[in-house]
Structure 1
């Protein structure tokens, strides 16, 4: 027997459904999630009770129990397909509890990242039912690290945040990851900020014969919006709109223009990439696994001043990437422009009723746990053809709290002995302290390179651990 039944359930008035009482039914078995199964029974009972004692007879069912049984089947199906009036968290648990934690725990036996190092089955079981107010789950947090076992030489973090609340909701996992990545930074520690360029000592005298270019960059996230791994198209477009409006208000040396990626010609886009001004479509497996390349290039773009010395990337890995850069070794000038521009941008957002994500423990909140705190990377491209071959090169960098990359960034080779040298830390140090480390370290590396050019020893120049 088939019955056309018009239900008014879960906020879907008068939805018509064909119910086959003698045919195939979906979701006939009770949910393994006892909480949701009780909710299904309760809603089914209430539906019948509210419509009168003999409502089931009016719908052609032989008994009240037979009608109630069909109601439960339908309730489960609506729960699975439409979510109905179940909350986001209830629906998440509904799907989750069909499988045990042991059945769902990822195989991390061959992985080399901080997420895999700290995530245990017990922790997974404890955290997997949690969801942030904006719907970001544990599986979304860890997916980049699950899909990418790790870099052979670099210990990646292997996880991302989908919103500001991620770091609190999943702190049992993220706190040890942060502590490991940021040199023992404890959950009770407080971050410090210093964007006063006058506090930087020196930096305007780096040898231009060795230092080819200087750059300082950071990221910023706009409070109230999901981060790139989890944002919707509408959110992403609103971030672009707000950013464009704020940046358009900059004046003087910072005056510039916004260029949307979708409106650029291929030639224009490639030229900006070749000039190291523009980000390309993400190809890194880590970025792809996190969902940051969705809808590319919609609502992505670059803003730069007329001199192309101050740039803002919009909707790449973070809402905003703010960059100050120029040729040569005047890091002080680069940092001064960076601090001035960044402070002005933040004030423009505040004027429009928006602020950046920040708290006293994590500093500025960004997508990747590795960039928390300052989010700052101060770097130079410098010639080190001799020093880079020295047996103590890696040890020197470690003691100076610096890191090296190839000429084109991570996973690229150093062309002509030119390396990208930058600070290794982000969290627990102020912006001035990090840039100072780079300035002092680059000066020492330059002196060591000059010694080696002359065939002299550098043993007496070996630095103490900072």
Structure 2
């Protein structure tokens, strides 16, 4: 379990399956929970934080319940900073969770679709992450794990307010649902700002690929609910699903418009991107993400055949600094990483034309 977690870039949400996977890369449901009578993590002493980690581990891992999905425990202070970076790149923990390892833990399922962050902003963050548009399925999985935890742990709950959380915006259900969407045509037709800015009026927020504070590189956007108080879990999930389908319709129309009105320019942009990624010897992270977006659109439109969506999703993680250095087995300076990134991109895209799935790890991609 541990070896695959840190050496293999591909994970469940990258499979390229699920509904509307052309436009929706992944669906995530996260539940914030805290233990009754304990200070929130930012006010916990290190000994208390470590006690809480052990309490949660005992409740989940050591319960010997063979009827539930096994979850594996990782003590963040016992793994290298580079490996914590890999967990961030795979969207299994947050950058905040990786920064300070002492008194923090992670429980994770074998397929990595369930992750429970211990002592991040809240005592527990239960995350379900699935490929494509699968908000209902992600909610059902997260809810099942939540029920399992609540049977063993005493959560902080108020009859009037609901679940109590460190951040007031999460009070109530404690639920944050999100989808990661690829919306290049809305950007290219200058509709993205108008469409995405209007979501705030619907109680939604828009972020980049790596969450709060990140830019929307590679035309990838995270759309999530902003309000949890006063709304049921089902209502939050349903509202986000409706908004997501509206954005899918808008993106689909924008792609048709581009094909109809600027087909040659669109094809030129796509094939230039593919040529660059399969030929370049030096690639910055920003350039790789930007050009990969156009290649993804070319695959979706049938212009670039035989490249599996899972390969494109894998490259979102495989070309990040932590994985590049893991692959090389050493720390690298920025230029060395840019060279390694170009090497991996060439190899995977050309290999991907003949591969529908990939289970190999980054250790297979050493620089020549």
Bin the TM-score by the shorter chain: 0.5 to 0.7
Deviation, 1:343, is 1.0
Name the one with the larger helix percent.
2
Q: Structure 1 length normalisation: TM-score?
A: 0.48
Deviation, 1:426, is 1.3
**Greater Rg over alpha carbons, structure:** 1
For 2:37 and 2:21, locate their aligned partners in 1 and report how far apart those are by CA, in whole Å. Answer: 43
2:47/2:103 contact within 8 Å kept: no
CA RMSD in angstroms comes to 2.2
Indicate the residue corresponding to 1:421 in structure 2.
223
Q: 1:228 to 1:266 in 2, by over 3 A?
A: closer
For 2:225 and 2:96, locate their aligned partners in 1 and report how far apart those are by CA, in whole Å. Answer: 25
For 2:200 and 2:89, locate their aligned partners in 1 and report how far apart those are by CA, in whole Å. Answer: 30
Indicate the residue corresponding to 2:78 in structure 1.
263
Indicate the residue corresponding to 1:346 in structure 2.
150
Indicate the residue corresponding to 1:385 in structure 2.
184
Indicate the residue corresponding to 2:47 in structure 1.
234
Out of 375, 382, 386, the position equivalent to 2:174 is: 375
Q: How does 1:185-334 map to 2 (within 5 A)?
A: 206-248=19-61, 249=63, 251=66, 254-281=69-96, 296-334=100-138
Indicate the residue corresponding to 1:335 in structure 2.
139
Q: Structure 2 length normalisation: TM-score?
A: 0.60
Q: How does 1:86-165 map to 2 (within 5 A)?
A: none
Indicate the residue corresponding to 2:320 in structure 1.
none
Deviation, 1:387, is 2.9
Q: What secondary structure does 2:200 align onto?
A: helix
For 1:424 and 1:409, locate their aligned partners in 2 and report how far apart those are by CA, in whole Å. Answer: 13
Q: How does 1:360-371 map to 2 (within 5 A)?
A: 360-371=159-170
Runs of 4+ in 1 over 6 A off after TM superposition: none
For 1:238 and 1:340, locate their aligned partners in 2 and report how far apart those are by CA, in whole Å. Answer: 25
2:97/2:104 contact within 8 Å kept: no
CA offsets 1:134-183 (integer angstroms, 9 cap, x no match):
xxxxxxxxxxxxxxxxxxxxxxxxxxxxxxxxxxxxxxxxxxxxxxxxxx
Matched residues, number: 237
Deviation, 1:281, is 4.7
For 2:196 and 2:131, locate their aligned partners in 1 and report how far apart those are by CA, in whole Å. Answer: 26
Q: What secondary structure does 2:155 align onto?
A: coil
Deviation, 1:331, is 2.0
2:18/2:131 contact within 8 Å kept: no
Deviation, 1:344, is 1.2
For 1:419 and 1:210, locate their aligned partners in 2 and report how far apart those are by CA, in whole Å. Answer: 11
Out of 444, 449, 456, the position equivalent to 2:246 is: 444
Q: 1:281 to 1:338 in 2, by over 3 A?
A: closer
Does residue 400 (structure 1) correspond to residue 202 (structure 2)? The answer is: yes
Structure 2: 5+ residue stretches without partners: 1-16, 259-368
Structure 1: 5+ residue stretches without partners: 1-203, 284-292, 350-354, 457-466
